[in-house]
Structure 1
Amino acid sequence: MLYDTWTVFWRDWVVLKRRLAKFILARMVAPMLYLVAFGWGLGRSINVGSGSYLDFLVPGILALNSMNISFNSITPVHAERIYHKSLEEYILAPIKPASYVLGKILAAVLRSLLSSTIILLLAYGFGAQINLSFWLWAVLILNAIIFAEVGFIAAMKISTYEEMSQVNTYILLPMSFLCGTFFTTQALPAALRWFIELLPLTHTSTLLRSLAAGNDLAYSSLLILLLYAAAGFVISRRVFPGTFSS
């Protein structure tokens, strides 16, 4: 199974390696705009209690970026299934469904971590104070896994490219702004806040912000992310075509 997983992962790494320079440059644009507009511009007039708004903002950008990159890294699977019909090659190959799912998820995690590293370098250049730790990277990886699984499930269940874009519109976009990325969820109405705080990106934002400030790990939020990741993997494996015939 490990060899099969590595085979699927290696294919995606070869594709990424050929486009690495373009990938890095593209990943710099949105974070720089966020840092300039919110960190330097709007952030100068915002009081977050302790530290600067830039220090408050960067963990939110990391969470948001990790979600988007990992989800969008899986969307080519939809094209492989619907348009290119190349997914059948994996179904017919002697590769376990779990290996294919895991290989794709790991490739998405790699892209997410590369992008997160770029954001951190930019943030330090803008003067942000971020404490890096093992747990901060672990939370980023967990977040990437969760939304790569969301992308995989969508790629397996959705029939058209237009419907795939609606996942971004109706699921990812609202989470991008409401899940503690740009402002604390305490500012939301109680009923909405209760729902928002059930979502994985909220826990990721909270954990990253706390860890970046040098605080202790909130194990309850970490457990919730682990449950999301485990459930997502189980569902991803079940929706993969040919799972029950293997």
Structure 2
Amino acid sequence: MKTGLRGTGAVYLREMLILKHRFFHHLASMMVLPFLYLVAFGTAMGGSAPLAGHSYLEFLLPGLIAMTCMTQSYGIATEINIARFYLHVFEEFQAAPISNAAHVLGEALSGMTRAALGVAVILLMGLAFSVRLHIGPYFLLAAALNAWVFASLGVLLAMLVRSHADQSMVSSFIITPMSFLGGTLFPLDRLPEWAQTLLSLLPLTHASHAIHADALGLPPEPMDFMILASAGALLFFLALRSVGQARD
């Protein structure tokens, strides 16, 4: 047990040292896209597109939080790729007495930490745009589950791809479309029913819905949390297997 905790701590500490070294670079990257969305969409449409008693800007901010949670937690895949293909740190993990579970958990927690930092940045930006959201336990739980899902997905895919270029291609086909179609920038109930059914299969859709609900003072739907927890558990398990195969 203690060995596992030390292994997890070692992996997590390495990622946090990297984050500390590149802190202002990461901070700037976390701010650019949300700021552009807030200016281009929020300011332009903020007072003219009311949604269930809320302005579009009030709807947009929780969506950006869900999106940032996804992109920042999934971004751990880039650090894993660099460690595998350029720095060869993964070979050191292979030789070290660190279990697969400790490795995946350490990487997932570091991805979740990046996501938490991204959420804090979005909330502060919201204050600058005079948007104040309700931050309750369901909001925090939805954000944490969302980060866990995509951090686990990041570890899984980082272990499956064969090059850094492959990782970029995977992101283009999975993460980018989900960012726009997961209920982050517009309500999905304005789409045809077949599209709503299809998009309900995306974990970001349920994360966005749960975050929106608590942020705007609406009752949460337990199904959103059940789906996120199930997806997180499945992806974490698959990530464990992928690390074992990569070690072999």
TM-score by length of 2: 0.93
Q: Which amino acid aligns with 2:91?
A: E
In the TM superposition, residue 170 of structure 1 has moved relative to its aligned partner by: 1.0
Distance of 1:242 and 1:165 partners within structure 2: 21
Relative to 1, partners in 2 of residues 1:9 and 1:47: Cα closer, same or farther, differing over 3 Å? same
Residue of 89, 92, 97 corresponding to 1:94? 97
Residue of 225, 230, 238 corresponding to 1:222? 225
Q: Is structure 2 residue 84 aligned with structure 1 residue 81?
A: yes
* Residue in 2 that maps onto 1:11: 14
* Residue in 1 that maps onto 2:180: 177
Distance of 1:91 and 1:236 partners within structure 2: 15
In the TM superposition, residue 82 of structure 1 has moved relative to its aligned partner by: 2.8
In the TM superposition, residue 149 of structure 1 has moved relative to its aligned partner by: 1.3
Distance of 2:246 and 2:82 partners within structure 1: 19
* Residue in 2 that maps onto 1:114: 117
Distance of 2:37 and 2:84 partners within structure 1: 35
In the TM superposition, residue 60 of structure 1 has moved relative to its aligned partner by: 0.5
Distance of 2:92 and 2:247 partners within structure 1: 17
Could you report, residue by residue, the CA deviation over 1:70-128 in whole angstroms, capped at 9, with x for unpaired residues?
Answer: 11122221232233322111011001110000000101111110111010011022011
* Residue in 2 that maps onto 1:239: 242
Distance of 1:213 and 1:56 partners within structure 2: 8
Q: Which amino acid aligns with 2:121?
A: I
TM-score by length of 1: 0.94
The answer on whether the counterparts of 2:148 and 2:232 sit within 8 Å (CA) in structure 1 is yes
* Residue in 2 that maps onto 1:26: 29
Q: Which amino acid aligns with 1:227?
A: S
Q: RMSD in angstroms over aligned alpha carbons? A: 1.6
In the TM superposition, residue 135 of structure 1 has moved relative to its aligned partner by: 2.0
Distance of 1:138 and 1:85 partners within structure 2: 35
In the TM superposition, residue 54 of structure 1 has moved relative to its aligned partner by: 0.8
* Residue in 2 that maps onto 1:59: 62
- Please list every run of 5 or more consecutive structure 2 residues that lacks an aligned counterpart in the other structure: none
In the TM superposition, residue 63 of structure 1 has moved relative to its aligned partner by: 0.6
Number of matched pairs: 245
Q: Which amino acid aligns with 2:131?
A: A
Q: Is structure 2 residue 193 aligned with structure 1 residue 186?
A: no
Distance of 1:228 and 1:13 partners within structure 2: 25
Could you report, residue by residue, the CA deviation over 1:188-227 in whole angstroms, capped at 9, with x for unpaired residues?
Answer: 2222211101110000110000000122321111010000
- Please list every run of 5 or more consecutive structure 1 residues that lacks an aligned counterpart in the other structure: none
Question: Which range moved further: 186-195 or 76-85?
Answer: 76-85
Relative to 1, partners in 2 of residues 1:22 and 1:64: Cα closer, same or farther, differing over 3 Å? same
In the TM superposition, residue 18 of structure 1 has moved relative to its aligned partner by: 2.0
Relative to 1, partners in 2 of residues 1:82 and 1:24: Cα closer, same or farther, differing over 3 Å? closer
